[in-house]
Amino acid sequence: MHEMLNYIDGKWVHSRTGKTNENRNPADDSEVVGTFQASSEEDVDAAVDAARRAYRSWRLVPAPRRAEYLYALGAILKERKEQYAKDMTREMGKVIAETRGDVQEGIDTAYLAGGEGRRLFGDAVPCELPNKAGWSERHPIGVAGLITPWNFPMAIPTWKLFPALVCGNTAVIKPASDTPLSVVNLVKACEDAGIPPGVVNLVTGDGRSVGNRIVGHPDVRVISFTGSSQVGRRLGEACGKSLKRVSLELGGKNAQIVMEDADLDLALEGVLWGAFGTCGQRCTATSRLILHKPIKGRFLEMLVERVKTLKLGNGLDESVDVGPLVSKAQRETVHEYVEIGKKDGARLVYGGEPYTRGECEKGWFYMPTIFDGVTRSMRIAREEIFGPVLSVLEADNLEDAVETLNDTDYGLSSSIYTRDVNKAFRAIRDIEAGITYVNGPTIGAEVQLPFGGVKDTGNGHREASHTVLDIFTEWKSVYVDYSGKLQRAQIDTESQE
């Protein structure tokens, strides 16, 4: 059993509490993946102080040079991809193909963010007065507090850390308590890439001691959080009191529409992947399936038959389709929602119970579950479950389908399957979501496009793409008057006519 340490000011150190927490394999709860520091507010203060001091010099490193560290990081992650993927499967549970993809997303983000080191574009614009120049440029903010989730334990930390670094910020990271090992691996890669001491700091522990202190620390200038909408509201309120910038990437209740003219075989593959990939533990997971009435019965039969063939088990087995839920508590939450669905009158078509056969008896597995007869008002159609539970609703036509899709407090991802280009473009226009796929599932975002949503899914910021730079930079407008005299904008322009 290996004890993992915090990383503060370029050194691996024990928490001042002297306490640790165990991290267990959700596919086999008897296996301890490692022990991690149960940190305190004092540990956070030490990390923030190191980041604050490192910021003084890091912000002055030319952005193209900062980018070189990210290119080195990308190469290290590529070299260690298989090792880090296996570690991730052991601590989080999702199948090895998906954890390889998780690390790959980190690699992609390293190169994308590195490329911005020679860009970080502003605007050069003409001024209204003669012999005067004007432009805008990005400047770093300071210490960034990064609070990351357990379902993408390497990809999402890189979404936050790499853009923050290339913009000239320093960082303190708090990983999810269920998946700290992947962030330890990421920070080791940062160390091996030669990133200077204090620029990247890692503090493990719970939200009450570590997360709240990061959010409330006066020297942390920007917060980037991914998690539930409930917690996001509290963080937004806390940051609002000090006018601290905060980026919130929150929940989703995503839907896939299948129209009568769709390629049903393709739509079937999409919903299987969207609903049951990562055991439904994605903010972009397909938790609602909206079927056009003429094809509903046939498609539902096809879906149930395919779901029956999905293999559950340890994600390190290449033949496994669905791994475990991340914890016992998460499995209990999922099962509570299944009971709620039955009580509210939805018809359980398949699944609906923990899966404990064979080796799965040692882990937190749950059967892929399908409900039919779901209405918009039911809780299983409205609340984020974060598990392998799919609610099937029906629609009379495209307008009804889009209205049903939009009838939620969330607005992250969406999908429509149709061969009709006119229907596709109307759906793109009318769906209220940050992401819309046509003839693809609700999961599968790529790092070169903005990621985020509307309504209760966030507070307007977007991760990935160049849009993430707006989270981690301040705009400065610059005016240079080389006329040699006082020129008054909006006033002296009349004298120039």
Q: Other C-beta atoms within 10 Å of 496: how many? A: 9
Q: What is the pTM for the complete model shown?
A: 0.96
283, 384, 394, 463: the active-site residue? 283
Share of residues in the chain with pLDDT > 90 (%): 99
Q: Is the pLDDT of residue 151 over 80?
A: yes
Q: How confident is the model at residue 34 (pLDDT cuts 50, 70, 90)?
A: very high
State residue 1's pLDDT score: 55
Q: Which tens digit of pLDDT belongs to each residue from 215-256?
A: 999 999 999 999 999 999 999 999 999 999 999 999 999 999
State residue 2's pLDDT score: 87
Q: Is the pLDDT of residue 213 over 60?
A: yes
Share of residues in the chain with pLDDT > 70 (%): 99
Q: Is the pLDDT of residue 420 over 70?
A: yes
- How far is it, in rounded angstroms, from Cα 398 to Cα 444? 24
Question: How far is Cα of residue 404 from the mean position of the Cα atoms in its chain?
Answer: 25
State residue 486's pLDDT score: 97
Full DSSP string of 461-479: --BSTGGGHHHHEEEEEEE
State residue 495's pLDDT score: 61
The tokens for 60 are 């002055």
- How far is it, in rounded angstroms, from Cα 58 to Cα 263? 53
Identical fold, 6-250+458-477 and 254-438: no
Spatial neighbors of 116 by CB under 8 A, at least 6 apart, are 63, 67, 163, 166, 167, 466, 469
The tokens for 323 are 């791994």
- How far is it, in rounded angstroms, from Cα 292 to Cα 299? 10
Reference 36, options 203, 253, 231; nearest CA is 203
Helices (H), 80-148: 81-92, 96-116
Residue with tokens 């990421």: 186
249, 384, 394, 463: the active-site residue? 249
8 A C-beta contact, residue 162 and residue 70: yes
446 CB burial (10 A radius; 0-12, 13-18, 19+): exposed
Q: How confident is the model at residue 493 (pLDDT cuts 50, 70, 90)?
A: confident
Q: How confident is the model at residue 266 (pLDDT cuts 50, 70, 90)?
A: very high
Full DSSP string of 247-258: EEE----EEEEE
Q: What residues does each domain of the chain span?
A: 6-250+458-477, 254-438
Q: Which tens digit of pLDDT belongs to each residue from 439-489?
A: 999 999 999 999 999 999 999 999 999 999 999 999 999 999 999 999 999
- Please give the average per-residue pLDDT across 311-339, as a whole number: 98
State residue 143's pLDDT score: 98
DSSP element (H, E) containing 306:
helix 293-307
DSSP element (H, E) containing 187:
helix 180-192
Reference 124, options 116, 114, 134; nearest CA is 134
Q: Is the pLDDT of residue 491 over 80?
A: yes
Q: Is the pLDDT of residue 496 over 70?
A: no
Reference 388, options 333, 346, 441; nearest CA is 333
Alpha carbon distances (Å) from 94 to 88, 101, 314, 391:
8, 11, 8, 22
Q: Tell me which CATH homologous superfamily contains domain 6-250+458-477.
A: Aldehyde Dehydrogenase; Chain A, domain 1 (3.40.605.10)
Q: Taking all residues of the chain, what is their mean pLDDT, rounded to a whole number? A: 97
- How far is it, in rounded angstroms, from Cα 115 to Cα 136? 20
Q: How confident is the model at residue 497 (pLDDT cuts 50, 70, 90)?
A: low
**Of how many residues is the chain composed?**
497
8 A C-beta contact, residue 333 and residue 387: yes
- How far is it, in rounded angstroms, from Cα 324 to Cα 319? 14
Alpha carbon distances (Å) from 484 to 35, 477, 494, 496:
66, 20, 19, 16
- How far is it, in rounded angstroms, from Cα 436 to Cα 452? 11
Reply yes or no on whether 283 is catalytic. Answer: yes
The CATH class of 254-438 is alpha beta
Q: Is the pLDDT of residue 144 over 80?
A: yes
